[in-house]
């Protein structure tokens, strides 16, 4: 059976049949391909298509379409698709924009299930008409499409290279799936470092029909894919993408994503503090955290992560054990590890004794270990010491940090030591250089091929290790449970109020919080000095006084908040001054018990729905980069994770004699706000509870801003 036949059989057995799956199979692993626009002209797109599909050794049915030739590089060539002796599954349209309409019409008439378009699908001054027209034709025909405006894709498992730009080097298939919405980024990873073994590499381009969600879903279902790397500018099918991420989690396939465009212009239009500091990046962080996605910040970190995840071993329990050949570089790694939150486990006594038998007497048997004492028997010292480290019950994986280079006997010895240690354990083993520009192509290839990936750069290696361990420790995806005492119709009375588009007053906003079981202070709204004196009698002093004049969203910015008013006389004086400046309508509220000020809020993302945010509160909300986000609704453990991630956690736990806050009540408030945002998402834009004061007596929403859907700055 051919390689193509084996892959098709494995895929079919693993996944079963469906029309969508059939289309994706026709796109990504077709039994037959036609190259429209194939050519013998050197350095042309048509010639590059032929060279690329030949270079991979694809053994399916292959046809060329060009009326000028009868054969191109041994491929039978026909004048038109209608002349072919059989129906092909995948048609590659290697023609310019002006010919795309006719070429796609011919492909759909032929009955192709999939196509690739390299061209931009855009013409001057057409307002997107060509792309819209082509998309409609593809959808009507039920075809999958790679592109337009893409560089194509590689299925290295069957030697298929659909591309218009030559990259003729060998491409050994492996455990990585790779998708980039940028053609340059696609080529940067796919064409440079042969340590990265791509089973599939996709330049998805404009994703006119087939989206990143479709590719991801398909790749994670292919046998042997351990990790999928993605470079994303946007997600065009949010629901499908979330389903694909969930499928990846079910299959235990790691997904590492570099998301760009993380600064949202929409944040500039936000009415609440929550909306202003959240932005789309916060939403993607919440999405990725929900589904266990690895988020990276640049291509080097992405490549390092893919390298570590492509090797077949899973980390054991415990943490990182590391061996170095330099005390100074060991200190460098330890400093970086601390910044990244990576802890080195303490070694068992028997491990330390075992290491001490091999290293020089002046060296300390510890983790991380500096094992270089001299050139004599160094290979044995490193092999035995690394093996001992890996055998420790607290070791999850081992990394040898050394600047290996080709043609140097010491580097060769280190490589042999790493391989020897790897053969004696089932735990993952890697080699990391401290400098990213070492010349080690031969050694790096040899080690990586043997299952010991070589990762360049101390920071990149340690970031990859952090991702590796966090993926191991990720929480399972669960369905959040609604609080038992929260009625399903809790938001019903508020839906019509919010649908009117009028922002709620503070009193109304706090009443909404209370309707969802979030504690609020006792308060009164008044509109005159006479009402003030009457209502004040029912309150316990001290009290807070806030302007309630409509249209003032951030009261403290205009001097519209007075706190700690101890008696009726000070309340009356504060009211007279505030009424004179801002107007007579005010809110009087009993002071909440002392505690830590937090900001709890939610935004309704147009793609992903409600997102809850927790941050430092009061005036610190926009000064401290200390926030946590989660998709709503969320479970209690997810709320606890949000709290644990804050630097402000020290204050919540009790700092320098301060009493610890009631964490359970804070968790409860977070969960309840998530259900509020979920229930009313269709009529909400933003929620801002600031401050939410949390102390030993519990959590209390002191101030709240609720913005209906459709409200924008200046509206």
What is the average per-residue pLDDT within 605-633?
Answer: 81
Task: Compute the distance between CA of residue 218 and CA of residue 203 in angstroms, rounded to an integer.
Answer: 15
Which of 197, 240, 190, 188 is CA-nearest to residue 215? 240
SS3 assignment, position 630: strand
Pull the structure tokens for residue 488.
């399903």
Task: Compute the distance between CA of residue 651 and CA of residue 665 in angstroms, rounded to an integer.
Answer: 16
What is the average per-residue pLDDT within 671-690?
Answer: 96
Q: Could you give phi then psi for residue 692, rounded to 5 degrees?
A: -105, 110
Which of 262, 341, 302 is CA-nearest to residue 629? 262
Q: Which bin fits 345, alpha (ψ -120 to 50), beta or left (φ > 0)?
A: beta
Q: Give the bridge partners for 400, in sequence order.
A: 323, 431
Task: Compute the distance between CA of residue 120 and CA of residue 87 in angstroms, rounded to an integer.
Answer: 27
What ranges do the domains of the chain cover?
Answer: 3-260, 314-472, 522-591, 596-708
> Does 281 score more than 90 pLDDT?
no
Residue 136 is predicted with a pLDDT of 97
3-260: which CATH number, 3.40.50.10190, 3.40.50.720, 1.10.240.10, 2.130.10.10? 3.40.50.720
Distant-in-sequence, close-in-space partners of 643: CB < 8 Å, separation ≥ 6: 614, 628, 649, 652, 663, 666, 667, 670
Give per-residue pLDDT as tens, 30-50.
Answer: 999 999 999 999 999 999 999
What superfamily does domain 314-472 belong to in CATH?
Succinyl-CoA synthetase domains (3.40.50.261)
Give per-residue pLDDT as tens, 378-433.
Answer: 999 999 999 999 999 999 999 999 999 999 999 999 999 999 999 999 999 999 99
Higher pLDDT, 90 or 703: 90
Task: Compute the distance between CA of residue 516 and CA of residue 675 in angstroms, rounded to an integer.
Answer: 8
Report yes or no: 31 and 60 within 8 Å, Cβ to Cβ.
yes
> Does 274 score more than 90 pLDDT?
no
Identical fold between 3-260 and 314-472: yes
Starting from the edge strand earliest in sequence, which strands make up the sheet with 144-147, in order? 71-72, 75-78, 61-65, 32-36, 90-93, 114-117, 144-147
Taken in order 229, 233, 236, 242, the sign of the CA dihedral is positive
Report yes or no: 649 and 641 within 8 Å, Cβ to Cβ.
no
Give per-residue pLDDT as tens, 512-529.
Answer: 999 999 999 999 999 998
DSSP 160: E
Higher pLDDT, 591 or 303: 303
pLDDT band at residue 270 using 50, 70 and 90 as cut-offs: very low
pLDDT band at residue 593 using 50, 70 and 90 as cut-offs: confident
What is the average per-residue pLDDT within 187-200?
Answer: 97
Report yes or no: 500 and 494 within 8 Å, Cβ to Cβ.
no
Global confidence as pTM: 0.89
Task: Compute the distance between CA of residue 312 and CA of residue 295 in angstroms, rounded to an integer.
Answer: 21
Within 10 A of 250 (CB to CB), how many other CB atoms are there? 11
DSSP 540: P
DSSP readout, 403-456?
Answer: ---TT-HHHHHHHHHHHHHHHT-SS-EEEEESSTT---HHHHHHHHHTT--EEE
Task: Compute the distance between CA of residue 519 and CA of residue 691 in angstroms, rounded to an integer.
Answer: 12
What is the average per-residue pLDDT within 648-660?
Answer: 81
Which of 100, 86, 97 is CA-nearest to residue 32? 86
Dihedral through CA 703, CA 603, CA 296, CA 331, nearest 10? 0
DSSP 173: -
Task: Compute the distance between CA of residue 97 and CA of residue 51 in angstroms, rounded to an integer.
Answer: 22
Taken in order 408, 409, 413, 419, the sign of the CA dihedral is positive
Task: Compute the distance between CA of residue 610 and CA of residue 428 in angstroms, rounded to an integer.
Answer: 39
Pull the structure tokens for residue 268.
């500039």
Task: Compute the distance between CA of residue 73 and CA of residue 64 in angstroms, rounded to an integer.
Answer: 10
CA 663: distance to chain centroid?
28
Task: Compute the distance between CA of residue 196 and CA of residue 194 in angstroms, rounded to an integer.
Answer: 5
Which ranges in 490-629 belong to alpha helices (H)? Answer: 492-499, 506-515, 529-536, 568-582
What superfamily does domain 522-591 belong to in CATH?
ATP-grasp fold, A domain (3.30.1490.20)
Pull the structure tokens for residue 510.
């706090």
Task: Compute the distance between CA of residue 7 and CA of residue 30 in angstroms, rounded to an integer.
Answer: 11
Q: Give the bridge partners for 609, in sequence order.
A: 605
Within 10 A of 574 (CB to CB), how many other CB atoms are there? 19
Residue 625 is predicted with a pLDDT of 63
Give per-residue pLDDT as tens, 449-496.
Answer: 999 999 999 999 999 999 999 999 999 999 999 999 999 999 999 999
Report yes or no: 176 and 195 within 8 Å, Cβ to Cβ.
no
Residue 514 is predicted with a pLDDT of 97
Pull the structure tokens for residue 229.
């790397």
SS3 assignment, position 361: coil
Average pLDDT, the chain: 91
Residue 434 is predicted with a pLDDT of 96
Distant-in-sequence, close-in-space partners of 266: CB < 8 Å, separation ≥ 6: 275, 279, 280
- Tell me which residue has tokens 């292919």: 222
Task: Compute the distance between CA of residue 461 and CA of residue 476 in angstroms, rounded to an integer.
Answer: 26
For domain 596-708, the CATH architecture is 2-Layer Sandwich (3.30)
DSSP readout, 328-377?
Answer: HHHHHHHHHHHHHT--PPPPPHHHHHHHHTTS-TTS---SSEE----STT
Residue 10 is predicted with a pLDDT of 44
Helix/strand/coil (H/E/C) assignment for every residue in 462-497: HHHHHHHHHHHCCCCCCCCCCCCCCCCCCCHHHHHH
Task: Compute the distance between CA of residue 542 and CA of residue 522 in angstroms, rounded to an integer.
Answer: 12
Give per-residue pLDDT as tens, 205-245.
Answer: 999 999 999 999 999 999 999 999 999 999 999 999 999 99
């Amino acid at each position: 059976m051919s390689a193509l036949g084996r892959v098709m059989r494995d895929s079919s057995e693993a996944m079963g049949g469906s029309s969508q799956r059939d289309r994706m199979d026709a796109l990504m692993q077709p039994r037959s391909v036609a190259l429209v626009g194939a050519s013998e002209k050197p350095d042309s797109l048509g010639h590059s298509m032929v060279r690329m599909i030949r270079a991979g050794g694809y053994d399916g049915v292959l046809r060329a379409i060009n009326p000028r030739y009868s054969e191109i590089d041994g491929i039978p060539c026909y004048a038109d698709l209608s002349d072919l002796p059989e129906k092909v599954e995948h048609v590659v349209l290697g023609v310019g924009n002006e010919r795309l309409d006719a070429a796609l019409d011919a492909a759909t008439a032929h009955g192709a299930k999939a196509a690739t378009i390299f061209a931009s699908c855009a013409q001057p001054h057409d307002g997107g008409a060509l792309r819209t027209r082509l998309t409609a034709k593809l959808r009507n025909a039920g075809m999958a499409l790679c592109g337009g405006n893409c560089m194509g894709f590689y299925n290295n498992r069957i030697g298929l290279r659909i591309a218009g730009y030559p990259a003729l080097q060998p491409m050994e298939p492996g455990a990585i799936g790779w998708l980039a919405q940028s053609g340059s980024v696609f080529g940067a990873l796919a064409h440079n470092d042969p340590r990265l073994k791509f089973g599939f590499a996709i330049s998805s381009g404009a994703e006119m029909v087939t989206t990143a969600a479709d590719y991801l879903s398909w790749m994670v279902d292919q046998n042997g894919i351990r990790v999928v790397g993605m470079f994303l500018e946007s997600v065009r099918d949010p629901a499908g993408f979330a389903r694909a991420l969930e499928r990846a989690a079910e299959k235990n396939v790691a997904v590492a994503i570099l998301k760009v465009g993380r600064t949202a212009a929409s944040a500039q239009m936000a009415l609440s503090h929550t909306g202003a500091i959240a932005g789309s990046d916060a939403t993607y962080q919440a999405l990725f955290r929900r589904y266990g996605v690895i988020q990276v910040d640049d291509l080097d970190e992405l490549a390092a992560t893919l390298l570590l995840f492509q090797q077949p071993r899973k980390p054991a329990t415990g943490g990182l054990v590391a061996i170095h050949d330099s005390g100074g570089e060991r200190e460098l790694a330890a400093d970086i590890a601390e910044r990244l939150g990576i802890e080195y486990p303490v070694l068992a006594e028997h491990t330390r004794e075992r290491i001490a038998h091999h290293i020089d007497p002046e060296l300390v048997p510890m983790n991380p270990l500096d094992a270089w004492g001299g050139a004599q028997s160094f290979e044995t010292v490193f092999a035995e010491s690394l093996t001992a480290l890996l055998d420790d019950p607290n070791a999850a994986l081992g990394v040898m940090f050394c600047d290996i280079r080709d043609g140097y006997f010491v580097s060769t010895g280190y490589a042999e030591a790493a391989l020897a240690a790897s053969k004696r354990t089932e735990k993952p083993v890697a080699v990391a250089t401290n400098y990213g520009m070492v010349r080690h192509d031969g050694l790096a290839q040899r080690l990586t091929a043997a299952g010991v990936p070589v990762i360049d750069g101390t920071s990149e290696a340690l970031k990859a290790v952090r991702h590796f361990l966090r993926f191991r420790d990720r929480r399972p995806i669960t369905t959040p449970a609604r609080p038992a005492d929260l009625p399903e119709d809790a938001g019903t009375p508020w839906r019509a109020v919010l649908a009117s588009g009028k922002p709620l007053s503070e009193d109304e906003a706090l009443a909404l919080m209370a309707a969802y079981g979030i504690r609020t202070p006792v308060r009164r709204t008044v509109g005159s000095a006479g009402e003030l004196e009457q209502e004040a009698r029912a309150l316990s002093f001290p009290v807070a006084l806030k302007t309630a004049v409509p249209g003032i969203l951030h009261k403290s910015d205009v001097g519209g908040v007075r706190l700690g008013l101890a008696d009726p006389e000070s309340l009356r004086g504060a009211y007279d001054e505030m009424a004179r400046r801002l107007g007579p309508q005010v809110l009087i509220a009993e002071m909440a018990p002392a505690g830590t000020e937090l900001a709890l809020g939610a935004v309704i993302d147009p793609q992903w729905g409600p997102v809850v945010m927790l941050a430092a509160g009061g005036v610190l909300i926009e000064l401290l980069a200390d926030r946590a986000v989660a998709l709503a609704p969320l479970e209690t453990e997810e709320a606890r994770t949000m709290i644990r991630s804050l630097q402000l956690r020290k204050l919540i736990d009790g700092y320098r004699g301060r009493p610890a806050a009631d964490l359970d009540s804070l968790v409860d408030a977070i969960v309840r706000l998530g259900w509020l945002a979920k229930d009313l998402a269709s009529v909400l834009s933003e929620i801002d509870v600031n401050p939410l004061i949390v102390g030993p007596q519990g959590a209390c929403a002191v101030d709240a801003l609720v913005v209906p859907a459709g409200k924008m700055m200046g509206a």
